[in-house]
Amino acid sequence: MIKYDFYTYTDKMKQENQEYEQKIKQIQKIMNKKEIMLDWLDIKSTIQKEEIEDILSTAKTIQENADVFLVIGIGGSYLGAYSFIEAFKPYFKKQNCEILFAGYSLSSLYLNDLMEYLKDKEVIVNFISKSGSTLESNIIYNQVIRFLKKKYKDISKKVIITTDKKSSLMDYAEKMNFKTYVIPKNIGGRYSVFTSVGLLPMAVSGIDIKEILRGVKDGKKDISLAYEYAISRDLWYKKGKWIESFGVYEEKLLPFTEWLKQLFGETQGKNKKGILPISMLNTRDLHSLGQYYQEGTKILFETNIKIKKTTKIQIEKYNLSLDEINSLAVDNVALAHKQGGVNTNLITLDTLSYYNLARLAYFFMIAAAVGAYLLEVNPFDQPGVEEYKKRLKKDIGESL
Ligand code: PA5
């Protein structure tokens, strides 16, 4: 169960919502027509049952044959799987089949140490890139392939490629006899977490992807709440709150805030508009950024995620569970920040389950797209990302 509360700690802004009626009707029309790049809205009709079964049996084979499943990708081809896997991975227990990520940076130190670590391990690689031409992930993939070729006589069973049906990466994968998954044409990177992009790594990690898909399906029940959240964000933005802080009180959800930063930042930050998404891990960051939130410049609002029940740990001194104390921290921080002029949206999960997190992610995906339409920007492009790419490619002598 998930409880959404956009007004508990915020000013009553509902009256102001009326001006949005007309705009919302237009946006609903676009969303209902499922125009270009909106196939993620109805994932069940995009991902067939056979594909889910295929992902499950491939995941089983990987678990049985690999010490390390190395996922190479960046942006939407990385953050979704990463955030879900981290959310459900036990803190201190080593997995039989460890999942590692690469290709999301150009760190030479990381690659060097990774190769060293993989030397004596059985490795299966999943290279994920919708375009097939992303510089960072390609550079890292090519290095990893050289490493695999030295390590194994035949690498055809060691590599899985997830890409667009028509990319040159797909042609290459077929030529190499690699297993492939197709990223649906009308689903962009940051909206692809519930396609094979996210589902295969999740399944390898042991996440029950059928529960994930059940959460996504039920996410449809929260669509009007997602619109409400999108409107409230827009209102805050117009009031000069240009920053949204996604706060979590459970470290396992910190990677989920990385996914949120991409989802909202890349969807809405264009044409000199958009709220800047940042994140906070509490109560840790109350002892750093907390000071700014309470007494600094009033340019932000918060959206915090609280989990009601995680363990049975009791703190005898207070006759309260640690979860209860953590929840009280969430509530009291919101009240304190409100007094300091910073308002909080609160989202409460009864437990951290596959179902809840998937349903929540779907809620945010709707809100991000609707928010972009409210700002009158295209939710599904990212032209601003091209600028650095052009310059970097020129400098390293890669054809543009
Ligand atoms: O959301 C997006 O579309 C981007 O963040 C992409 O996912 C990212 O740039 C990686 O692209 P690709 O999957 O083509 O390598």
Q: Phi/psi of residue 134, each to 5°? A: -70, 130
In terms of domains, do 12 and 87 share one?
A: no
pLDDT in tens, 299-355: 999 999 999 999 999 999 999 999 999 999 999 999 999 999 999 999 999 999 999
Q: Is 14 part of a structural domain of the chain?
A: yes
Q: Tell me: pLDDT of 6 over 90.
A: no
What proportion of the chain, given as a percentage, has pLDDT over 70?
A: 98
Name, in order, each residue with C-beta under 8 angstroms of 115's C-beta and a sequence gap of 6 or more.
Answer: 143, 147
**Pairwise CA distance, residues 400 & 390, whole Å:** 7
- Segment 199-220 shows an average pLDDT of 97
* Residue 74 Cα to ligand 1 middle (Å): 6
In terms of domains, do 318 and 370 share one?
A: yes
Asked if residue 130 lies in contact with residue 182, where contact means CB atoms within 8 angstroms, the answer is no
What proportion of the chain, given as a percentage, has pLDDT over 90?
A: 89
**Pairwise CA distance, residues 178 & 200, whole Å:** 15
The two tokens of residue 186 are 């009308």
* Residue 243 Cα to ligand 1 middle (Å): 24
The per-residue pLDDT of the chain, averaged, comes to 95
- Segment 185-191 shows an average pLDDT of 95
In terms of domains, do 227 and 366 share one?
A: yes
Q: Tell me: pLDDT of 400 over 60.
A: no
Instruction: Give the model's pLDDT for residue 44.
Output: 83
Instruction: Give the model's pLDDT for residue 185.
Output: 93
In terms of domains, do 253 and 348 share one?
A: yes
The confidence band for 12, taking pLDDT boundaries of 50, 70 and 90, is low
**Pairwise CA distance, residues 294 & 310, whole Å:** 28
Instruction: Give the model's pLDDT for residue 45.
Output: 83
Q: Is 325 part of a structural domain of the chain?
A: yes
Q: Is 391 part of a structural domain of the chain?
A: no
- Segment 178-198 shows an average pLDDT of 97
Specify the residue with its C-alpha closest to ligand 1, atom 5: 75
In terms of domains, do 219 and 81 share one?
A: no
pLDDT-wise least confident of 2-16, 22-36, 109-123, 147-161: 2-16
**Pairwise CA distance, residues 264 & 303, whole Å:** 13
Of the candidates 172, 207, 242, which is a domain's last residue?
Answer: 207
Instruction: Give the model's pLDDT for residue 10.
Output: 64
Asked if residue 106 lies in contact with residue 137, where contact means CB atoms within 8 angstroms, the answer is no
DSSP codes, 63-125: HHH-SEEEEE--GGGTHHHHHHHHHHS-SSPPPSSEEEEESS---HHHHHHHHHHHTTS-EEE
Q: Is the CB of 167 under 6 A from ligand 1?
A: no
**Pairwise CA distance, residues 112 & 171, whole Å:** 29
Domain of residue 233: give its range.
Answer: 2-33+214-382
* Residue 130 Cα to ligand 1 middle (Å): 7
Q: Is 284 part of a structural domain of the chain?
A: yes
In terms of domains, do 6 and 140 share one?
A: no
pLDDT in tens, 151-160: 999 999 999 9
Instruction: Give the model's pLDDT for residue 35.
Output: 73
In terms of domains, do 52 and 77 share one?
A: yes
- Segment 120-126 shows an average pLDDT of 98
In terms of domains, do 328 and 183 share one?
A: no
Of the candidates 154, 187, 207, which is a domain's last residue?
Answer: 207
Q: Is 394 part of a structural domain of the chain?
A: no
Q: Is the CB of 344 under 6 A from ligand 1?
A: no
Q: Is the CB of 190 under 6 A from ligand 1?
A: yes
Q: Is 387 part of a structural domain of the chain?
A: no
In terms of domains, do 117 and 237 share one?
A: no
Q: Is the CB of 162 under 6 A from ligand 1?
A: no
Q: Is 365 part of a structural domain of the chain?
A: yes
Q: Tell me: pLDDT of 106 over 90.
A: yes
Of the candidates 207, 225, 242, which is a domain's last residue?
Answer: 207
- Segment 281-296 shows an average pLDDT of 98
The CATH number linked to 355 is 3.40.50.10490
Name, in order, each residue with C-beta under 8 angstroms of 189's C-beta and a sequence gap of 6 or more.
Answer: 75, 76, 77, 130, 197
196-204 and 49-65 are packed helices; what angle lies between their axes, rounded to 10 degrees? 40
Asked if residue 304 lies in contact with residue 293, where contact means CB atoms within 8 angstroms, the answer is no
Q: Is 367 part of a structural domain of the chain?
A: yes
Of 128, 130, 133, 264, best ligand 1 pocket probe by most atoms within 8 Å of the beta carbon: 130
In terms of domains, do 122 and 246 share one?
A: no
The confidence band for 78, taking pLDDT boundaries of 50, 70 and 90, is very high
In terms of domains, do 22 and 80 share one?
A: no
* Residue 317 Cα to ligand 1 middle (Å): 50
Instruction: Give the model's pLDDT for residue 17.
Output: 72
Q: Is the CB of 129 under 6 A from ligand 1?
A: yes
In terms of domains, do 243 and 337 share one?
A: yes
pLDDT in tens, 217-262: 999 999 999 999 999 999 999 999 999 999 999 999 999 999 999 9
Number of domains within the chain? 2
Q: Phi/psi of residue 135, each to 5°? A: -60, -55
Q: How much is the pTM? A: 0.96
